[in-house]
Every structure is written in structure tokens, then in C-alpha cells.
Amino acid sequence: MDQRVGAIGPMKRAARTTIREVAEEAGVSISTVSRYLNDSSRMDPQRLARIALAIKKLDYVPSVAAQSLRSRASRIVLLVVPDICNPFYSQMARTVQQLLREKGYIMALYDSDESSRELYSIKMAQQMYARGILLGSIDIKKPVIQEAMALHIPIVGLNAYQHYPFDTVHVHGSEGTYLATHHLVALGHREIAFAGGTPNTMIEESRRAGFERGMKEANLSIRSDYVVEIGFSQSDGYEAGRYFSKCRPLPTAICCANDQIALGLLAAMQERGIRIPSQVSVTGMDDTPYAKISNPSLTSVTNDSDTYAKEGVRMLFERIEGTVSGGARDVVVRHELIVRASVSAVRKGV
């Protein structure tokens, strides 16, 4: 059996400081230190200061697992996202992690693969005695809601448009793609296509509705062969781009349900020699960091994941700390159209 050897012999793992050692250093009982770790709000200030000093001196790190088993609660918050590869959700996760760290909590992250594994994520929350759940989803199903509510812990839905029995943070469901479609119409486009996300999901239906609303408002018909719904990833967008590149006539503009779709679509169409935007204008949704640096830079609609994270954590801890009670609350995040180089006025005969 292999051994790791240091300069003067086998390397040994440093012994972990115990709660007993902290109690002895501070001159208090083990139960007092335990009480300090779980809730120090009612402790004598002098005793509190001695324990804090002992913990710092001994570099004591409490066992999260042990605390969870004893109290049937932990300092863990579960963040569920549909696709961590999507920059919208990865930025959200980064901000949530920072905010939780400031509160002395740990973030557990679960990628639900566009909601197909959400039910399992709720079971995980139960197993880890999570104190709360931030549930990012493209479509929260009824069994998931029932399972989550049965845990009796605070839950905040992120990007959840419909009415739920828990707090939610979201944008106006169809406003983003409506703004993008309205802008394309204002540029003179009439043959406008739609590259959608995962069919029969809450977010996809809302984003298609925004596109349809913009077209209807302009008295424009929607060609059935100009609507493609595959999924929300870049590879799905690439597949949509290959499809639209074969359409005759080409649409003069394509409204995409998110930036990931738009970026994949741009790549596929440019591979086939289609010029963006002189032949086809393209818009995205979410205004992720890659929208600014794509070639050409992508016109998109803001959907600020930092705001989702900040509002979601705020609402969650108001429930955890008991400063807010009562019925479900709703926070709406505003959209803004960001115009970049991927769109231009329609050009006849190009």
C-alpha cells in the first residue's frame, strides 16, 4: 500500500479540533458551546466573547453533518437550476453562493436537466436537512410542488411565472420576446421566425406568447414552418440554425427564446454562408455575458440573474429568520432591450 512521505516521514492528517477542546479553552460546558453554535442570540456577551475567541484560537470548524443530524436542520440551502452550463444560471449560482457565505450558510447545487430531475432534487433537500430551497425551473410540475411543500421549509421559485404556494422572483413572462419582436417589426421585418426552447414548458410557452403577441399587434401572420421548438441549449440553437438556413425563402429575422439558442443558431447559419444581419437579423433573450462578445454581438433582452439571486436569498431568509410570515409573495424583475450588431433594418433583394 502506497504512503505519502514528507521530509521527515509519512504525512499525517492534522487532528481536528473538537467541541470539548473549545469548551475547555473558553471555560464553559460543551452544551454551552453547542448552544453558541446553534443560536447565540440569547447568550451572555462575556461568555459569547470567550467562546468566539476560543474558536478562533483553536481554528475550530463545526461539523455541518453532525449539526444537521442532531437538530434535523442544517445551514445548507439547495439551489436547483435547469442547466448550469447556461451562463444565466451559472452567474445566479455564483451570486447565491456569495450571499449565503456572508450569512454563514453553504450552497448545495443541483442541475435538474431542464426540470426532468426536479423531484429527485427535492428528495435530496430532505436528506441533507436543507433549511430552504431556491428552485430555478423552466416548468415546475405539480408533484414537485407537492413534495417541496411537504418539507415545510422556505422555498423561493426563481424564473417561475405562474401562481405557486411559495414566494417567487420572475420577469413578466412574455415581455422579453415581445420587446425583441416589436423591435424587429420596427426595423421593417415582416418574415420573422421564432426559435423556441423545450416544448410544452412554462417558460417556452411564455416566450412564444411574447413573439406571437408582437406579430399579432403588427397584423403579421406567422408561418408554421417558421416556428421551431427544440430546447434551450446552444446545441438546440445550432440545430434550429441548420433548419432555418434551408428555408426558402429565408426569414429576414429570427427571434430566439434565449441567448444560448441564438448563439448556436448564429454559428450554424454563418457556417452555411448566411450573413448576419445583412441577410438575417437575430435576437436573443437573457443578455448573458456572451451576448456582448459574440460575432456579431447579439441583440438581447435583459433578464438579470444577479437580481434573481439577491431577491431570492432575501425572501428566503426573511422566512428562515421569521421576519416575514403569511401568504406567498411575488417580485417582478423588469426587462430592457439591448440593441447590438446582430440586427439591422430589412434589406430588399439581399
Q: What is the mean pLDDT of residues 42-65?
A: 80
pLDDT of residue 65: 52
Assign 9 a pLDDT band (cuts: 50, 70, 90): very low
List C-alpha distances in Å: 336 to 31, 159, 232, 333, 339. Answer: 54, 16, 21, 10, 10
Contacts made by residues 11-20, CB under 8 angstroms, sequence distance 24+: 16/61, 17/58, 17/59, 17/60, 17/61, 19/60, 19/62
**Which homologous superfamily is 175-301 in?**
Response regulator (3.40.50.2300)
Assign 5 a pLDDT band (cuts: 50, 70, 90): very low
pLDDT of residue 4: 42
Inter-residue contact 141 to 115 (CB < 8 Å):
yes
Q: Which of 8-17, 137-146, 328-337 has the lowest mean pLDDT?
A: 8-17
pLDDT of residue 12: 47
- Bridge partners (DSSP) of residue 152 are none
Assign 239 a pLDDT band (cuts: 50, 70, 90): very high
Q: Determine the Cα–Cα distance for residues 38 and 41; give it in Å rounded to an integer.
A: 9
CATH architecture of the domain 74-172+305-333 equals 3-Layer(aba) Sandwich (3.40)
**Does the pLDDT of residue 69 top 60, yes or no?**
no
**DSSP H or E run through 111:** strand 106-111
pLDDT of residue 163: 83
pTM of the model: 0.78
- The one-letter amino acid at 267: A
Fold of the CATH domain 16-62: 434 Repressor (Amino-terminal Domain) (1.10.260)
- Torsion of the alpha carbons at 295, 299, 305 and 310, rounded to the nearest 10: 120
Q: What angle do CA 16, 18, 23 make, to 5 degrees?
A: 150
pLDDT of residue 262: 98
Same fold, 16-62 and 74-172+305-333: no
**Does the pLDDT of residue 70 top 70, yes or no?**
no
**DSSP H or E run through 148:** helix 142-149
Q: Determine the Cα–Cα distance for residues 237 and 261; give it in Å rounded to an integer.
A: 4
134 SS3 class: strand
* Domain layout of the chain by residue ranges: 16-62, 74-172+305-333, 175-301
> What beta strand segments (E) does 175-275 contain?
192-196, 227-229, 253-256
Cell of residue 71, nine digits: 437538530
Q: Determine the Cα–Cα distance for residues 140 and 69; give it in Å rounded to an integer.
A: 29
Assign 44 a pLDDT band (cuts: 50, 70, 90): confident
Cell of residue 42, nine digits: 440569547
